[in-house]
């Protein structure tokens, strides 16, 4: 057996504070407006992907969480892989032109690949994994193929897989510039600030139970573009202003402005969904209750101390500074009691020890003002929030050592589900 050509990477989830919704080109995934996100820590949420290229593989194959998927069934997967292969092909071409002997140029672009990908968070968490998934895929291809392109350039390849995946190519605070070019050349991610820029910023993910099946965001957003009479105004006027204001807020570590813009933009995204025909609604009564709690919490604090944001589902992501997080965790565990059937680790990690003992969880309310607020709000039905994840701003994709590979010696998944 010759040299193994393989790369293993992990890539993070990102949560937008200025929302992406609407494409100007569906094939290339070119958005109608720029967006901006915070990359979350891979300690709690990430996708790990191993890719191996081998002249012995008869075809490209892919396993997601242990289950083999048909690559050719996904145009987006094919697009991403094909685009990365072309970049590799160009590199091999250049190596040959540069006088490197043909036998030293490894023809990786000609070989089939095996892709094995796993999320470290359960699908049951209700969190979209396409952003971290495509960022991991493209980062692994970049590493495997030794591509010379910058991360921003590679983010274009992630973009053709899943729009918001381009933002998961960086850590910290990331803008996806909509761009204007027809070929999407200028539609890519850039880092606005790195992870170390604002270490106090933390996030809480509240996974809400929902009776309804989610509407595909791909289908939903194009219906919005076609039918909402308010959407054009958002794209033309509102988002450009907010992008600038948000960058300034981040640069200044100005939490109140960061939070207000985040909440307003989440609300407006859901407003244009509702203005779609037929209307799209992702938020449910639990989501609406969390919105109310956050505004009440901010009123109790006398400042904007927390922000909510919702993507294409009922789950809330709460941004707050470290010093306010304990009270928020206590408030949520009080108002959203666990259901008995829920796993002991449904709420994790638990730096404050608030989740630790089910019989005590939700009984401690350290701050008297928060206790009064919790008392007024009351308790929601047990299990309305079925998971809480306490996390923080994280770094971009990481290249992992070969020991972390998901593939066996022969290039098959180490773990596979029947």
Q: Which residues of the chain form contacts with a copy of itself (CB under 8 A)?
A: 211-212, 229-230, 233-234, 237-238, 260, 263-264, 267-268, 270-272, 274-279, 281, 283-285, 288, 291-292, 295
Q: Work out how close the CB of 361 gets to a copy of itself at its nearest, in angstroms, rounded to a whole number.
A: 22
Least distance from C-beta 322 to a copy of itself, angstroms? 24
- Closer residue to a copy of itself (CB): 199 or 292: 292
- Phi, psi angles (nearest 5°) of residue 16: -70, 140
How far apart are alpha carbons 161 and 170 in whole angstroms? 16
Rg (CA), the chain: 22
Q: What are phi and psi of 319, to 5 degrees?
A: -105, 135
Name which of 189 and 208 has its Cβ closer to a copy of itself.
208
Taking the complex as a whole, the smallest distance from the CB of residue 230 to a copy of itself amounts, in Å, to 4
Instruction: Return the number of the residue (5 or 295) whose C-beta is nearest a copy of itself.
Output: 295
- Nearest approach, Cβ of 257 to a copy of itself (angstroms)? 13
Q: How far apart are CA 81 and CA 86, in angstroms?
A: 9
By C-beta, is 295 or 301 nearer to a copy of itself?
295
Minimum distance between the CB of residue 377 and a copy of itself, rounded to whole angstroms?
10
Work out how close the CB of 380 gets to a copy of itself at its nearest, in angstroms, rounded to a whole number: 9
User: Which residue, 145 or 380, has its beta carbon nearer to a copy of itself?
Assistant: 380
CA gap 152, 167 in Å, rounded = 9
Closest contact distance (angstroms) between CB of 335 and a copy of itself is 12
For a copy of itself, the closer of residues 158 and 239 by Cβ is 239
For strands 46-54 and 112-119, give the pairing.
antiparallel
Report how far Cα 351 is from the mean position of its chain's Cα atoms: 23
CA pair distance 152, 160, nearest whole angstrom = 13
DSSP assignments along 214-277, one per residue: PPPHHHHHHHHHHH-SSHHHIIIIIHHHHHHHHHHHHHTT-HHHHHHHHHHHHHHHHHHHHTSS
Residue closer to a copy of itself by CB (options 68, 233) is 233
């Amino acid at each position: 057996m010759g040299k193994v050509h393989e790369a293993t990477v992990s890539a993070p989830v990102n949560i937008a504070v200025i929302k992406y919704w609407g494409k100007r080109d569906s094939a290339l995934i070119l958005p109608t407006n720029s967006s901006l996100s915070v990359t979350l820590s891979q300690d709690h949420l990430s996708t790990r992907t191993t890719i191996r290229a081998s002249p012995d593989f008869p075809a490209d194959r892919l396993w997601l969480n242990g289950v083999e998927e048909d690559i050719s069934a996904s145009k987006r997967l094919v697009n991403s892989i094909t685009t990365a292969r072309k970049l590799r092909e160009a590199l091999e071409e250049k190596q040959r032109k540069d006088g490197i002997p043909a036998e030293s140029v490894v023809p990786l672009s000609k070989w089939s690949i095996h892709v094995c990908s796993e999320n470290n968070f359960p699908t049951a968490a209700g969190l979209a994994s396409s952003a971290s998934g495509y960022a991991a895929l493209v980062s692994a291809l970049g590493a495997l193929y030794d591509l010379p392109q910058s991360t921003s350039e590679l983010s274009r390849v992630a973009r053709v897989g899943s729009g918001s995946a381009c933002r998961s190519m960086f850590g910290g605070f990331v803008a996806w510039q909509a761009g204007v070019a027809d070929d999407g050349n200028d539609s890519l991610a850039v880092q606005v600030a790195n992870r170390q820029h604002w270490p106090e910023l933390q996030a809480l993910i509240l996974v809400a139970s929902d009776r309804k099946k989610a509407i595909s965001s791909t289908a939903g957003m194009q219906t919005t573009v076609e039918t909402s009479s308010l959407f054009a105004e958002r794209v033309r006027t509102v988002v450009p202003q907010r992008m600038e204001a948000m960058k300034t807020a981040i640069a200044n570590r100005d939490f109140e402005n960061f939070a207000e813009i985040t909440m307003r933009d989440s609300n407006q995204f859901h407003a244009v969904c509702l203005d779609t025909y037929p209307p799209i609604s992702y938020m449910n009564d639990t989501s609406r209750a969390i919105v109310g709690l956050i505004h009440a919490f901010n009123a109790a604090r006398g400042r904007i101390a927390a922000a909510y944001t919702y993507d294409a589902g009922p789950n809330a992501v709460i941004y707050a500074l470290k010093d306010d997080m304990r009270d928020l965790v206590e408030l949520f565990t009080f108002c959203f009691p666990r259901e008995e059937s829920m796993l002991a680790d449904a709420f994790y990690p638990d730096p404050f020890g608030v989740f630790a003992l089910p019989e005590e969880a939700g009984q401690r309310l350290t701050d008297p003002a928060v206790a009064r607020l919790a008392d007024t709000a009351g308790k929601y039905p047990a299990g309305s929030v079925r998971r809480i994840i306490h996390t923080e701003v994280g770094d971009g994709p990481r290249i992992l050592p070969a020991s972390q590979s998901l593939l066996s010696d022969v290039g098959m998944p180490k773990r596979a589900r029947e």
